[in-house]
Amino acid sequence: MTPYSPYKGKNGIKRILNATGYSLAGFKAAFNHEAAFRQIILLNLILIPASFFIHVSALEQALMVAVCLLAIIVELFNSAIEAVVDRISLEKHELSKNAKDMGSAAQFVSLAIIFFTWIIILFR
């Protein structure tokens, strides 16, 4: 038995193309199956363009955009955790609940980061 995944054998351009395909499939799955992901995308479609119409420095604008994108990353991880937990078992279990609750807590923190970053920049 080899300690390496047979899916890791690609190199160069082929690996990049495969990784891009997997990423796009992940975005599609999240968008199609996760309401929270769609809500975060909607929030980003409002906040990111709005950041271009607010008189702030380039660094502040970059920070405003970055924290919005961070919430997408956190939601993707949260959705992945939920999918893995559900794949293992739909049976109620304290560890499964903890994993899902911690993913939710991470998303809550990322939304708080958006809120406080925007408030601090806008009302400094």
Q: What is the pLDDT of residues 76-94, one digit of tens each?
A: 999 999 999 999 999 999 9
Is 15 annotated as contributing to ligand binding?
yes
Residue 66 is predicted with a pLDDT of 98
Residue 4 is predicted with a pLDDT of 72
Give the DSSP letter of residue 123: T
**Token reading at 30:** 């999240």
Q: What is the average pLDDT across 33-50?
A: 97
The answer to whether 113 and 70 are in contact (CB under 8 A) is yes
Residue 9 is predicted with a pLDDT of 64
Active site residues: 75
pLDDT band at residue 2, thresholds of 50, 70 and 90? low
Q: What is the average pLDDT across 99-115?
A: 98
Residue 12 is predicted with a pLDDT of 85
Average pLDDT of the chain? 94
Query: 3-class secondary structure for 28-72?
Result: HHHHHHCHHHHHHHHHHHHHHHHHCCCCCCHHHHHHHHHHHHHHH
CA 91 from chain centre, in angstroms, equals: 26
Domains of the chain are 35-123 (1.10.287.3610)
Is 91 annotated as contributing to ligand binding?
yes
pLDDT band at residue 31, thresholds of 50, 70 and 90? very high
Q: Which residue in 86, 77, 83 sits closest to 107, CA to CA?
A: 77
Q: What is the average pLDDT across 36-45?
A: 98
Is 82 annotated as contributing to ligand binding?
yes
Residue 104 is predicted with a pLDDT of 97
Is 14 annotated as contributing to ligand binding?
no
Q: What is the average pLDDT across 57-82?
A: 98
pLDDT band at residue 7, thresholds of 50, 70 and 90? low
